[in-house]
A and B are shown apart, each in its own frame.
Chain A
Amino acid sequence: MSKISFEHVSLIYQNDNKDYPVLQDMNFSIQEGEFVSLIGSSGCGKSTTLNLLAGLQKPTRGQVKIDGKSVEGPGKDRGVVFQHYSLFPWMKARKNIEFGIRQISGSASKKETAAKAEQYLKLVGLEGKGGLYPYQLSGGMQQRVAIARTLAMEPDILLMDEPFGAIDARNRVLLQELLLALLEKEEKPKTVLFVTHDIDEAILLSDRILFLREKRIFSALKVPFGRPRKRQDIIGTGAYIQFRKQLFSLFGDSAEEPEEPEARIEGIA
């Protein structure tokens, strides 16, 4: 059984008796421990797909399932990292992480919680910054704290909505590598859905890439690189350039229908 499955999922907004479909009859599944990226142009419904899985929105038709059970709302099995820095501004960095931990293990002592928060701060390279408020941290640092908060809650599924989208190029590279390293450290590989519009980011991080177009999954491609993966080992290789070209062509001219769209779909359950 797939860890995550979308079955004939549609989301339609209604306004003045007019229908505005955001997603139409979307089908895909993700296996346990798989890292899947969702790419596509702005406004194609990437974030909506992630919100449905997070339980923040409900589909108009169809079902979103985790372990075969329909998603009814947010849950402890899923952790979300948003593009905007979603830390609570009135809590210091450490407090934000502790607050997250307390949501999943109410029984843990103050000391245990604090120790765990400190451990995760260290893990994301922010040792000694726990006493700062979010406004005193750079965007990249805030996102590190948000990742630490989510990982500290030990969810099975990690949902990331363009987490590095608002971060400068240099720091983005650092954070991508940090995420790779963190996920490799996990004993049980996490199932990840990662929304991005950055092709290189998707190739570097994922096992599989889903391309969203015309309100549904238009294409699915397996990333032809193994793990552990290092940026310097794959970037610039012939396989990389070839694969990137293939992905990039998908964006192409959206108005133009490919001749045989079915032929490109592989790996969709």
Chain B
Amino acid sequence: MKGRVLPHLIFLTLTAAIFLPGRAEVHSRWVFAVVMALIEGVFLLRRKKRATCGIATIVFTFFLIWELYSSKFSTEGNFLFPPPENVFAIFLEDDSVILNSVGSSFGMMALSFAIALALGIPLGLLSGRHNRLRGIVQPIAQVLSPIPGLIYAPYAVALMPSFWAASVFILSSGLFWPVLLGVIDTLGQMQKKLTDSAKALNLSERSTVFNVLLPYCVPSIFTTLSLQISNSFLLLVGAEMLGATSGVGWYVKYSSDFSDYTRVIAGFIVIGVLVSVVNSGLARLRKAAIRWQPS
């Protein structure tokens, strides 16, 4: 019983702290307070789940310490540790810039994923089907695949017509190789019973590829995607920091150039939320695509 009340007590303390006068100069308390109230609302809705209580305790404790340290007691720390009220107020202040950045980053990522899948899957299926092609493609892919995209980023920027094109190139090649290798590997391990079954049904080449090999590879393609997504974000943010004029990575870099750490931290939070949204979207897509597998 005690543990269940604890997160709510911390939340109430935090709310009180937000509205008590402190030493730091605070522009607006409301955005921070509203976000905290929203989080509390979500926790209240999910209070039946066991983990919720622990998560809520940790989250509110974190914000309470941040609030007390930077807003209530410290003035010297304000430069590197801006008060949370100010960080959250940025979301309202910079709303159009942030939305633009998110849209730009998300768009670039979606495009790069599409390119990597559109090239990697067909080439993988072809290589899985023809031993000679696989003999050529697989070793090349194994050599090129582990080279981190950021290493050739400066070269790509010099090579490609625009910075945007260079970023798309870096991101899509970062995903292309793992997808290609994943498909080849999956087909190599394909159960004989399925290939025999396809042969015995006298399937055409086309039907074998689209109705047997491709669906067989779908689960492993999703696994590759979810493993590569954090790497993709790393590449995305890294590429944007190199010289983009929009995107979440650019926003953080640009703000830190002016030592505006309030905006830098706001940028961190935006990136965190974006990654979580993309991850959970992918998880949902995966669930819908492979309903035929026992969960």
Chain A residues near B (Cβ < 8 Å): 54-56, 74-76, 78-80, 82, 84, 86-92, 99-100, 103, 133-135, 153
Contact = CB atoms under 8 A, between A and B. Distances in A.
A74 B207 CA distance: 15
Contacts of B207: 103
Contact of A135 (B194, B196, B216, B294): B294
Nearest to A91: B292
B212 interface: yes
Taking each of A74, A76, A90, which has the highest tally of chain B beta carbons within 10 Å of its own beta carbon? A90
Interface in B192-239: 193-194, 196-197, 199-203, 207, 211-212, 215-216, 218
Nearest to A83: B193
Given A82-B197, A86-B193, A86-B197, A76 B215 contact: no
A100 B197 CA distance: 11
A90 B215 contact: yes
A135 B202 contact: no
Interface in B23-56: none
A150 to B, nearest CB: 9
In this complex, which of B201, B218, B292 has the most chain A Cβ atoms within 10 angstroms of its Cβ? B201
A89 B293 contact: yes
A89 B200 contact: no
Given A74-B202, A88-B212, A135 B292 contact: yes
Nearest to A159: B200
A133 B292 contact: yes
Contact of B292 (A74, A79, A89): A89
Contact of A76 (B196, B202, B212, B294): B202
Contacts of A78: 200
12 contacts: A74-B201, A74-B202, A82-B197, A86-B194, A87-B197, A89-B293, A90-B290, A99-B211, A103-B201, A133-B291, A135-B294, A153-B201
A82 B193 contact: yes
Given A88-B215, A135-B294, A103 B196 contact: no
A88 B202 contact: no
Contacts of A133: 291-292
10 closest Cβ pairs, A-B complex:
A86-B197, A80-B200, A90-B215, A90-B292, A84-B193, A135-B294, A133-B292, A74-B202, A74-B199, A86-B193
B294 to A, nearest CB: 5
A135 B207 CA distance: 23
A100 B201 contact: yes
Given A88-B211, A88-B215, A89-B292, A103 B194 contact: no
